[in-house]
Amino acid sequence: MKYKVIHLNQFQYETPADQSMNTLRLKPCHDESQRLLDYQVEISPAARLENQRDLWGNTIENFYIADLHSALEIKATSIVRIQKSPLVEQLHYSAQMQTIFISPSFYEGYLPYLSQTSFTFLEQAQIDSVLKEIGPCIDPIKFALAAMRYFYASFTYKAGITTVQTKATEAFALTQGVCQDKAHMMIGLLRSQGIPARYVSGYLFTGKDASLLGDEASHAWVEFIVPGIGWIGLDPTNQVEALNQHIRVSAGRDYADVSPVEGVYRGGKQSLRVEVSVELIDEAKS
């Protein structure tokens, strides 16, 4: 599957702003299952981009605007090809996997994805209520699938109830929220059972499939590690494995590690308009 993604951020300032320092995480991943064929960023006012990798392996782009400006526009255009086959339902959790899973080296190697953050922390009573429904974690693969199905079925997808600052404990109490909330809650549950899990930010191609849900601007899902296999993506918002319709951009411990655009500036209040389009490209024509 080949896609064209356009991500537009338009900032308007109440009074002219200056000394604007910004960090972007808009560049899609490039690996064996997702190929980044083209990527361009346009910034107005014009600014020079400096690329680097963050602690989690994501590509970040920094820029600085010293002069006064009343508006800031950031437009990222990407061409991505994804080739992934269903995997998780076919996996058998072997004795060898279990040996690795309980080993000290496995724990130490994935400690950042086993430690709870303020976004992913769930109260013990909340964890117990889920375990009562899906059972204890004996097979981490089956448990992760059960967790995905639980958060899909038990928590209503509804925009406007939560914000990007909402924590897992709060979303759990509300039983409503968006993809970010479901991802944080599922990550919190998996980590509580010793399963390394991370937050993935990217885009979802819904096409004409009205059954798929995702934020208009971006989408979020969960990846958990399977010993000897690697990271596997599960989408609790849509109860599916993250495959050809999920375009990965960044991964981290929680949303705070993967915010698409963040920065500071000197000036008055701002308003933000975000627009994202994901278009399926006809490879026969291209």
Tell me the mean pLDDT in the region 20-44. 96
- Give CA–CA dist 167/266, Å, rounded: 29
Distance CA 203, CA 216 (A): 9
Average confidence score pLDDT of the chain? 94
Rounded mean pLDDT, 101-130: 97
Strands 176-177 and 156-157: parallel
- Contact at 8 Å (CB) between 278 and 203? yes
pLDDT at residue 217, rounded to an integer: 77
The helix (H) or strand (E) run that includes residue 76 is: strand 69-82
What pLDDT was estimated at residue 283? 61
Amino acid at 34: Q
Global pTM reads 0.94
What is the per-residue pLDDT across 246-275, written as a single tens digit (0 to 9) for each?
Answer: 999 999 999 999 999 999 999 989 999 999
pLDDT on residue 207: 81
- CA 142 to chain CA centroid, nearest Å: 22
- Which residues 6+ apart lie within 8 Å of 149 measured at CB? 134, 239
| Cα gap 174→170, rounded to integer Å | 6
- Average pLDDT on 151-179 reads 95
Domains of the chain: 2-82+259-280 (2.60.40.2250), 88-257 (3.10.620.30)
In angstroms, rounded to a whole number, what is the distance separating the alpha carbons of residues 178 and 168? Answer: 11
Q: What is the pLDDT of residues 95-114, one digit of tens each?
A: 999 999 999 999 999 999 99
For 130, phi then psi, to 5°, come to -75, -45
HSE at residue 63, side-chain half, CA atoms within 13 A, is: 18
**Of 285 and 159, which is predicted with more confidence?**
159
pLDDT score of 212: 77
